[in-house]
A and B are shown apart, each in its own frame.
Chain A
Amino acid sequence: MPLPQQIILPMQQHVGAACKPQVKRRAHVDVGTLVGHVDARMTADIFSPVSGTVKQIRTIHYSNGWSNEAVVIEPDGNQTVDESIRPPEVEDYAGLIEAVKHSGIVGLGGAGFPTWLKMDTDLSNIDMWLVNGAECEPYLSSDYREMVERPQTILAGIKACLDLSGVPRSLICIEDNKPKAIELLHSMAADDDRIDVFVLPARYPQGASRVILRNVTGRSVPRGGHLTDVGALLFNVTTMSEIGRFLGDGMPLTKRRITVMGDAIERPQNLEVYIGTPIGEILEYCGLKCDPAKVVIGGPMMGTTQVELESPIVRANSGLLAFTNEAVQTPNTTACIRCDKCIESCPIHLAPINIQKAYLRRDLETLNKLMADLCVECGTCSYVCPARQPLAQATRLARAALRAEQRKAKGRR
């Protein structure tokens, strides 16, 4: 894809504190120049993916009502690389963490959690470093392309992590509908007996961290806990690949692969785009059959609909979907028939319909008993509901309410 006409870099592309712009209007930036940074622990720096001029620094609004400061860069087309870019010199695990901290790499499977922070944990009880190659969502295949196109950087990343951390074992988890990736990585990892490929059934939401951990190791993450509590680290395969690449060339995260799909798209494809590319330009490049009625960033199950075609692709996005009017399903909710499909299909074994009922009467005590905070927001319950009840939507709100309450309770103590 050609260079976009403008790059919009929101200062919040991760979980944690928003960055502050480090460049001024009309300033010149190169590829890899630091654009956003903030002095906080939980954050990830933002770098320019292009060389060009900072056109403006303005507020952008998201379709979910949030707004964010963003640096708008006009590319000059030269793509000159910032002088400071050189491969990091890494000698020990602390050095690796320090290097990744300055790479801008975040969880690329959709979480957007700063990767260095995930690595900066007590390693003493970690016995497994999982690499998540199970696609985040249906429709998307960007992780698959990463495995097929850049297996060597994935393995380089894994080897560096294992060598420096001393974690004894790594499993690359791939769904069984991707035999090419399984075979490729299996044969390439054959010389290292710490690394193996683990084949999982292709069943959404296999890629959700708690689900995949359960299915690979049989361990379950306790309420309010993290994967590290049960001895595992889990990285998305593209994240791992970026680490491997970064250790080689020192270029921070400036590009990512997304799947462009949907019935309004003329040429659906996997596409490497510069982070900050407005979705309108990507859609134009892939061709639109007609004016789309619905545009989604992310996958069909968890993605967010967009109202502005100027919104940029950010680091954690792995898909861009455009649908025609015919494909837009407006839910026509009918009465619950107690078919229990939501309960049967919940990967965490929650009871979404009961959570919805409790949430509608704001019954936090029941929500706590139903453990609504364990929801991974995969959306399966809403998908299967024959009565079209907004179960996932209600559970999402219930989870937020419960977490707010938990924070309040913590504060009181």
Chain B
Amino acid sequence: MAEERQKPLVLLAAPQIMSPVTTQVIMRNVLIALAPAFVASLAFFGLPAFLVCLTSVVSCVGFEYLWCRIRKLPNTATDLSAAVTGVLLAFNLPSTIPLYMVVVGAFVAIIMTKELFGGIGKNFANPAIVGRIFLAVAFPVAMTTFVAPQITLAPVDVVSSATPLAPAAAALAHLDLLLGLHMGVLGETSALAILIGFVYLLATKTIRWHAPVAYVATVVVMSLITGHDPVAQALSGGLLLGAVFMVTDYTTSPSTVRGKVIFAIGCGIITCLIRFWGNLNEGVAYSILFMNLLVPYIDVLTPNTPVGGEHKRGGSNE
């Protein structure tokens, strides 16, 4: 001790150690979980799918970077959250969509939905969903022009068709739905690929199972009650994509498990209402957007009870 120390000892408040899981690690995990669905979309739709994904990711990250540069904010493009938004947006688009529309969608998602409300963690709704809905409203034709996957069990001769949820859907075999051998947007076709991603997210503790399970279960129950095919309802459309990657979005879902389950059940009910009685084919995006708006209220109504807080005593104001 006698010798003079060159550098003073570090002074920090406890805790002295921190988990290696940062925002970037979480977003990287989500990207990895999205990879199986990405590979599936490449297999089904080929190069156009790749181009849509690339355009979406590059423009999302680019918009985030530009925003930070222009506003002189710390650069948050490296936390990969914009890349996740980019992939999710692309997964909500058909492979035939003109690429400039993808850029418009990315602008709506990143700038209008995320950055204008204060950037990561502050957006009230899922950016990718708002981007998708904007495109669906602005370019309804381009958004519903699907091509059949390159691999099919039965040769299909159609270039343009509705998604499985249009009235012809009932004929579709469940296996086709599971593997994704049907028409649809990039990421919603293969249920299996999404489920692989789900398992990965659970294994890395990135998300918890409650919300996705509650969402899908609600849809299945509602289908049974109303006499729809529950398996087809659960496997088709963006349901699983939404359940695994959008209902679980950190920022736009409630903070307690109880709140998350209520949120997911609400999403499920609205999805079914739109699917069964609305005049849209697909209700996942709208239902999640609608429930996003209710999150602050759900949060207020579903706080956890602290251990020791159950008793009606103590506290300063009583």
Closest to B5 in A: A291
Q: Does B9 contact A (CB under 8 A)?
A: yes
Contact B255 A343 (CB under 8 A): yes
Q: Does B311 contact A (CB under 8 A)?
A: yes
Q: Does A224 contact B (CB under 8 A)?
A: yes
Q: Does A339 contact B (CB under 8 A)?
A: yes
Q: Does A68 contact B (CB under 8 A)?
A: no
- Hey, which chain B residues are within 8 Å of A350, CB to CB? 304, 306
Choose, from A7-15, A75-83, A384-392, the stretch at the interface. Answer: A384-392
- Hey, which chain B residues are within 8 Å of A392, CB to CB? 13-15
CA distance A384 to B205 in the complex (A): 12
Q: Does B39 contact A (CB under 8 A)?
A: no
Contact B14 A303 (CB under 8 A): yes
Contact A294 B12 (CB under 8 A): yes
Q: Which of A312-347 contact B (CB under 8 A)?
A: 321, 323, 328-331, 334-340, 343-344, 347
Size band of the interface chain A makes with B: 35 or more
Q: Does A280 contact B (CB under 8 A)?
A: yes
A384-B21, A386-B26 as given contacts; A351 in contact with B310, CB under 8 Å:
no
Q: Does B66 contact A (CB under 8 A)?
A: no
- Hey, which chain B residues are within 8 Å of A310, CB to CB? 1
- Hey, which chain A residues are within 8 Å of B309, CB to CB? 223, 349, 371, 374
Choose, from B94-102, B118-126, B189-197, B234-242, the stretch at the interface. Answer: B118-126
Cβ-defined partner of B307 (8 Å) among A338, A347, A387, A409? A347
Choose, from A49-57, A140-148, A214-222, the stretch at the interface. Answer: A214-222
Q: Which of B289-318 contact A (CB under 8 A)?
A: 303-311, 313-317
B123-159 vs A: 1/0 string, CB under 8 Å?
0000000000000000000000000000000000000
Size band of the interface chain B makes with A: 35 or more
Contact A303 B16 (CB under 8 A): yes
Q: Which residues of A contact B (CB under 8 A)?
A: 63, 138, 210-211, 214, 220-225, 278, 280-281, 284, 291-296, 298, 300-307, 309-310, 321, 323, 328-331, 334-340, 343-344, 347-351, 353, 364-365, 368, 371, 374, 377, 379-380, 382-388, 390, 392-393, 396, 402, 405-406, 409
Q: Which residues of B contact A (CB under 8 A)?
A: 1, 5-19, 21-23, 25-26, 74, 76, 79, 81, 119-122, 208, 250-251, 253, 255-257, 303-311, 313-317
| Shortest 4 CB-CB contacts between residues of A and residues of B | A223-B314, A379-B15, A224-B314, A222-B311
Known contacts A307-B8, A337-B23; 11 further A-B pairs (Cβ under 8 A)? A225-B308, A225-B314, A291-B5, A302-B14, A335-B76, A338-B250, A348-B306, A374-B308, A377-B14, A387-B23, A388-B22
Can you spell out 22 A-B residue pairs with CB atoms less than 8 angstroms apart?
A: A221-B307, A223-B309, A223-B314, A225-B313, A291-B7, A295-B9, A301-B16, A303-B16, A305-B16, A307-B11, A334-B22, A334-B74, A337-B81, A337-B251, A339-B250, A348-B307, A349-B306, A379-B14, A383-B18, A383-B19, A385-B19, A409-B316
